[in-house]
């Protein structure tokens, strides 16, 4: 059985720029914390896997630790992250984070073709399900989600993909992962899975040597043609990606 596993952030939607960054900053303001991340600063933070982990790294600055005040750091991080997740979900509900081109079409076509479709992300599960609901509509309820702290290590550790394969009984040779970052690519390939990369503004210049196919987006009929940045497989994409292109990434008919 063929399976298609999506990452969430940067893949289903451009959540980092239009969702997580403003949600982090809104949370910092809400709790009176002396930090506001610019887009460039946040690009550097993305090298740290996981939202709570990005917040935890702030304590490396003694001035921030002093401003955060006394008390248990773990409890503070949980409180801040809960508020940040709520702010993120409000942005999703308000339509501030549109689904990336081609995602809804590919999900619909894959389900119609009998493929297993799943989402594997180390972001908070509530956030992932909110983004998925936007992307997949009513079909979202039938799509398994593996997210949050279900594994002990964040990407590039392969744990989240190994869990997804094991829980769903997937054939690694027939499973294609869609990622947007080098950390995600490494997590997928270290789990023995083939990976297609759709870049975004934060990740376009990263090293995707291990990817079967690297494109600017999945594309749609009413969009400008996609840009193919690297192709190491049998896919021969046209103006947008189709299920045939995804099969070809797995070594199926080109």
Write the CATH number for 113. 3.40.50.1000
246/31 Cα distance (integer angstroms)? 45
Total domain count, the chain: 2
Q: Is 157 a catalytic residue?
A: no
Percentage with pLDDT > 70 across the chain: 99
Q: Are residue 117 and residue 243 in the same domain, yes or no?
A: yes
What pLDDT sits at residue 48? 87
> Residue 207 and residue 204: Cα distance in Å, rounded?
9
d(CA 252, CA 130): 33
Together in a domain, 29 and 41: yes
Token pair of 162 as six digits: 């190994």
Nearest residue to 198 (alpha-carbon basis) of 43, 185, 18: 185
Bridge partners of 175, per DSSP, are 3
Final residue of a structural domain among 35, 62, 93? 93
| Mean pLDDT, range 154-173, rounded to an integer | 97
User: Does 254 map to a domain?
Assistant: no
Which one of 64, 93, 122 terminates a domain?
A: 93
Average pLDDT of the segment spanning 36-64: 91
Please tell me the pTM assigned to this model: 0.87
- The residue segments making up the domain with residue 112 are 3-14+97-249
Whichever domain contains 61, its CATH number is 1.10.150.240
Please check the confidence at residue 252 and state whether its pLDDT lies above 80. Answer: no
Asked whether residue 173 carries a pLDDT value surpassing 90, the answer given is: yes
Are the CB atoms for 164 and 118 separated by under 8 Å? yes
**What is the mean predicted confidence (pLDDT) over 161-185?**
97
In a domain, 157, yes or no: yes
65 lies in the same domain as 143: no
- pLDDT confidence bin for 50, thresholds 50/70/90: confident
The beta strands (E) that lie in the chain are given as 3-6, 116-120, 145-146, 175-179, 194-198, 213-215, 228-231
Joined tokens for residue 93: 């509900």
Task: Indicate whether 156 and 182 sit together in one domain.
Answer: yes
- Report residue 232 as tokens: 């190491």
Q: What is the pLDDT of residues 192-209, one digit of tens each?
A: 999 999 999 889 999 999
pLDDT at residue number 253: 52
Between CA 76 and CA 68 the distance in angstroms is: 9
39 within a domain of the structure (yes/no): yes
> 3-state DSSP call for residue 24?
helix
Q: Is residue 127 part of a domain?
A: yes
> In the prediction, which pLDDT does 13 show?
95
Q: Residue ranges of the alpha helices (H) in 113-181?
A: 125-136, 159-168
Both tokens of 177, joined, read 């992962």
- Look at residue 146 and tell me if it is in a domain: yes
- The answer to whether residue 9 is catalytic is yes
User: What are the backbone angles phi and psi of residue 9, rounded to the nearest 5°?
Assistant: -65, 125
**75 belongs to a structural domain:** yes
Least Cα distance to 234 among 220, 213, 215 occurs for 213
236 and 193 within one domain: yes
């Amino acid at each position: 059985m063929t399976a298609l596993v999506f990452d969430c952030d940067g893949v289903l939607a451009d959540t980092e720029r239009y969702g997580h960054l403003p949600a982090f900053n809104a949370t910092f303001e809400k709790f009176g914390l002396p930090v506001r991340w610019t887009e460039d600063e946040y690009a550097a933070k993305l090298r740290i896997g996981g939202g709570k982990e990005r917040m935890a790294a702030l304590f490396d600055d003694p001035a921030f630790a002093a401003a955060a005040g006394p008390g248990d750091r773990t409890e503070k991080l949980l409180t801040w992250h809960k508020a940040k997740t709520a702010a993120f979900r409000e942005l999703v509900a308000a339509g501030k984070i549109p689904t990336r081109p081609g995602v809804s079409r590919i999900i619909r076509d894959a389900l119609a073709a009998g493929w297993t479709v799943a989402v594997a992300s180390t972001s908070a599960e509530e956030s992932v399900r909110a983004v998925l609901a936007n992307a997949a509509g009513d079909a979202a309820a039938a799509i398994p989600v593996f997210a949050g702290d279900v594994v002990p290590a964040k990407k590039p550790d392969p744990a989240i993909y190994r869990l997804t394969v094991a829980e769903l009984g997937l054939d690694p040779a027939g499973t294609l992962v869609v990622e947007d970052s080098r950390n995600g690519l490494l997590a997928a390939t270290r789990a023995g899975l083939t990976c297609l990369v759709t870049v975004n503004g934060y990740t376009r210049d990263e090293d995707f040597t291990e990817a079967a196919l690297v494109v600017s987006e999945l594309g749609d009929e009413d969009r400008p043609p996609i840009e193919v940045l690297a192709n190491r497989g049998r896919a021969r994409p046209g103006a947008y990606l189709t299920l045939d292109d995804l099969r070809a990434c797995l070594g199926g008919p080109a």
